[in-house]
Structure 1
Amino acid sequence: MPTGVRRARCTVAVAALVAGCLKPNPAYDSVETDGGTVGSTTTTTTSTTSTGVVPTSSTGTTEVTGTSAVTTSTATSGVLPDMSSGTTDTTTGEPTSCWDLGIDNWDVSTLSLDPPGSSPMLTPDAKTLHWRAFLGNEWHVIRSARDDPAVAFPAGMSIWPTSSYQADRPAFVAGTQELFFDSPGGDIYVLPRDGDGWGTPTAAGGAQAFGIGHESHPNPTADGAVLLFQRDDGLPFGQFQLGFNFYQITRDPQIHATFPDVPPVKVSPSDPGFGVLACPALAPDGLRLFFGAFDSDGGGQGNPNDGRAGVWFAERDSLDGGWHTVVRSPSLRVAGFVTCPVAVSADGCQLTLQLFTIGPGPTETRLARRG
């Protein structure tokens, strides 16, 4: 297989943890239809949540430990239109938060996507879900909305069909009316909303930001000022031919429609016990991060589907700071699957997950909730 084709197959869809990178095994193959990848789900779930508040603005020029680039980050303050579900704590009247409940206090259920698809991106208020589905011989971005975060998501509607971009991991920023997504070509795109329709998708940044490696998993903060993403430039590990790093880039979303043509800053968490990481799911405030990772036990050998690949968590004190408290969640890993986080609500009460197998096998979409 040509290198470019193999690389594209290595890094698209939900197999980002493995990215077609097993030395003794073929690339991960999900259910494919006319060159597309579609996941499958079966049942519905309910959960209760409310959302928190975007942090106050922070500006400054800081080099993150272990990186070679310098960034200036600017985040707006205040509560964005989609950041509060109205649920409040009965004693204080403030929005409920689940961030102090620990990373193992989860109730996990299957998340039904109708129509079936993959990579369910949750909005900060947990009321809207966007995902990718293959319908009518072309890829669509599907949107499902609910008034109450405690009820199941209804059937979704196509909001943007395209057979060329194959928009995956569609993350909508309500404040700037933008949809970020990644594409098999290896870049991250932004699609502006124009009234009731959509404009033209363009690369979300210049060649220095999205032009060297294969970038995927766009994670914008709720104000659209910071974009964290994944690049396939990490070191090989065990049976995996390549690894990944996380990067972020910043802008003033009220002035600049795209991110500047500067090198992004590497923000990969330090490794306290995992050998390869992927699938970043950044909290809307940019200060907390879920990600998927393999345990380093066994040096990356053995059966990768034995449940060793699960969800880890890290947090930082500022948008320019390094990650700390890097720990794994023993409960968010399933034997027979690789478990990747996709998106988390602003209050930390709901987390969407994509489960898949390395090599031919099933995929599942789940919702983890706490509080």
Structure 2
Amino acid sequence: MRRAWAMTAAALVAGCLRQNPAFDGEGGTGGGSGGATTASSTTTSTTTTSTSAPTGTTDASTSSPTTSSSTTGVLPDMSSGTTETTGAPVGCWGLGVEDWAVESLGLDPPGSSPMLSPDAETLHWRAFLGGQWHVVRSVRDDPAVAFPAGASVWPSSSFEADHPAFVAATQELFFGGNGDIYVLPRDGDGWGVPTVAGGALAFGNRVESHPNPTADGATLLFQRDDGPAWGQFQLGFKFWQVARDPQVHPSFPDVAPVEVTPADPGFGVLACPALAPDGLRLFFGAFDSEGGGFGDPNDGRAGVWFAERDGLDAPWQGVTRSAQLRVPGFVTCPVAVSADGCQLTLALFTIGPGTPESRIARRG
């Protein structure tokens, strides 16, 4: 049974897990090639549309999602986003955590959870269109230019479709929703049926979110609400990791996950993991421990931290925060990073009433 979440911690667990402005797009219900949605309809206020972190209790026995089968349209080419995982990309990983230029990331149609592909040429996000959640996809030919308007590639009547991460190597879409992590396989020209990504041991009865698959689909890092409470927050979070052989297991084996929470060198609560495609580097959101977790949570103390490791089974090292990637008036959480480490998508939101924003940070 899902337990009640406190309002302040509820916003943090999701980063941008609040419902986006409702938007009735034309052609938004088409599958795959789906018509590009337009911004002609009325939006609703984002201050009253929190969906993933309700203040009441969400019981799994009463909130089973509607199973959505394949769509009628033909999927676009989903091959963009692959990356070579046999060697670590050089790119911008040698640059410091302060060498960023941050700009607004316009999502058309409006949405949240902008998941960047490893090659930084494809962006998936979720949007609430015509009364249901959609996964929207936008492709650009040049990582230096802005993303064009996106098109719906998968509509669902009840899945929240948060942090939609498409793995080109296995033709799977991972996303969070209803307290679990789901995987949606591509089935020919349409989608299969979304199922929980693993067994009860891997994904139990706690709230799991923020799926972060590696580019080869063999490792999945995610967030769970089982960390210690801190300051004014009524719950905390840990990061967990499961592994599989994608050629053998269509889902992750029913084994207990391994905890991979970075050691705390000066933060009191963490959330919002953004794993590099090779699995060896991690951005995440966290509050500074100064103040003991009390005071205004939107004063800019919650920003982006970074860690790296020598292997998928090695501990995180060099945990450090970026003084640049934090904004007064917001909580700043990373969402996804490119394989070369040169681009990082960000979610900015407030704990309490406020309008969330999406931004992209570039370096190199």
Question: Aligning the two structures, in what range does the TM-score lie when normalised by the shorter sequence?
Answer: 0.7 to 0.9
- Where do 1:1-371 residues align within 5 Å? 4=2, 6-7=4-5, 15-16=13-14, 30-32=46-48, 53-55=84-86, 97-183=91-177, 185-371=178-364
Residues 162 and 236 of structure 1, relative CA distance in 2, 3 Å threshold:
same
Question: Partners of 1:203 and 1:182 in 2: how far apart?
Answer: 9
Task: Give how far 1:52 is off.
Answer: 6.9
Farther-moved stretch of structure 1 (204-213 vs 236-245): 204-213
Question: Partners of 2:256 and 2:333 in 1: how far apart?
Answer: 27
SS state of the match for residue 348, structure 1? coil
Q: Gapped runs of 5+ residues in structure 1?
A: 21-28, 38-49, 57-78, 80-94
Residues 200 and 13 of structure 1, relative CA distance in 2, 3 Å threshold:
farther
RMSD over equivalenced CA pairs, Å: 2.5
- Please tell me whether the aligned partners of residues 213 and 232 of structure 1 are also in contact (alpha carbons under 8 angstroms): yes
- Please tell me whether the aligned partners of residues 18 and 358 of structure 1 are also in contact (alpha carbons under 8 angstroms): no
Q: Gapped runs of 5+ residues in structure 2?
A: 19-44, 54-80
- Give CA-to-partner distance per residue, 1:63-108, whole Å, 9 cap, x none: xxxxxxxxxxxxxxxx9xxxxxxxxxxxxxxx76000011110000
- Please tell me whether the aligned partners of residues 51 and 347 of structure 1 are also in contact (alpha carbons under 8 angstroms): no
Find runs of 4+ consecutive structure 1 residues off by over 6 angstroms. Answer: 8-14
Question: Partners of 2:7 and 2:149 in 1: how far apart?
Answer: 29
Residues 337 and 147 of structure 1, relative CA distance in 2, 3 Å threshold:
same
Question: Partners of 1:269 and 1:100 in 2: how far apart?
Answer: 20
- Give CA-to-partner distance per residue, 1:33-87, whole Å, 9 cap, x none: 59589xxxxxxxxxxxx9974136xxxxxxxxxxxxxxxxxxxxxx9xxxxxxxx
Task: Give how far 1:347 is off.
Answer: 0.2
- Please tell me whether the aligned partners of residues 36 and 134 of structure 1 are also in contact (alpha carbons under 8 angstroms): no
SS state of the match for residue 172, structure 1? strand
Task: Give how far 1:6 is off.
Answer: 3.6
- Please tell me whether the aligned partners of residues 127 and 134 of structure 2 are also in contact (alpha carbons under 8 angstroms): yes
Alignment size in residue pairs: 311
Residues 329 and 34 of structure 1, relative CA distance in 2, 3 Å threshold:
closer
- Please tell me whether the aligned partners of residues 34 and 137 of structure 1 are also in contact (alpha carbons under 8 angstroms): no
Task: Give how far 1:163 is off.
Answer: 1.8
- Please tell me whether the aligned partners of residues 124 and 344 of structure 1 are also in contact (alpha carbons under 8 angstroms): yes
